[in-house]
Amino acid sequence: MTSIPQLIFAFMQIGITAFGGGLSTLPLIEYQLVTKNGWMGVEEFNQMVAVSQVTPGPIAINAATFAGYQQAGFWGSFASTLALVAAPLMALSIILFLLQRVSPEKSKNFKLMLRPVVAGLLTLSIISPFTSTWNNGAVAIALFAVGVGLIKFSKFFKENPATMLIIFGIFGAFFLR
């Protein structure tokens, strides 16, 4: 059983350092839950992400609620979710206060500096699930590359991405078990 202050501290760190939202938070959540604290294994983390994606609401909040409940029951769930939301709200309020008091040029430069951070986090969020799949992710990465190529160079798939998702879903169901 994990203590509630440990959950609060972990999810405050996730909330404050997660830029870009959505999938870009997954590497940070995985680091806290799997690598740093050992609250769950990689397979369990991937299952939690899958459940978080199919339930309504943002992935990070669903993950905080799930992990908090798993570790410390209702109050752990409540504390984790609150910490995830409250920490960035406080940080953003302070940053907004400071950005309103500096020149527009400095404000623009700060926002431009965040772009590589978000790009890196999004890249990690794509790579992480692939590495836990068949053949250390090689097949999944190849399928991803094929999918990007089809959308970029095929007029049919660019206009009908749902068709490509169905084809890749069927392929995955039969060959990536």
The DSSP line for 37-76 is S-SS-HHHHHHHHHHHHHSSS-HHHHHHHHHHHHHHHHHH
User: How many angstroms separate the CA atoms of 177 and 169, rounded?
Assistant: 12
pLDDT of residue 131: 62
Sign of the CA dihedral running 134, 135, 138, 139: negative
The Cα–Cα gap between 33 and 68 comes to 10
**Mean per-residue pLDDT, 50-55:** 82
The answer to whether 13 touches 82, Cβ cutoff 8 Å, is: no
CA distance 64 to 87: 13
State how far Cα 5 lies from the chain centre. 23
pLDDT value for 111: 80
Amino acid at 149: G
CA distance 3 to 11: 13
Of residues 177 and 8, more confidence is placed in 8
Predicted local distance difference test score (pLDDT) of residue 125: 67
Cα separation of the two ends of the chain: 33
Share of the chain above pLDDT 90, in %: 24
Position 2 pLDDT exceeds 70: yes
| Euclidean distance between CA atoms 54 and 51, whole angstroms | 5
C-alpha angle 115-105-22 in degrees, rounded to nearest 5: 25
> What is d(CA 94, CA 64) in angstroms, rounded to the nearest whole number?
24
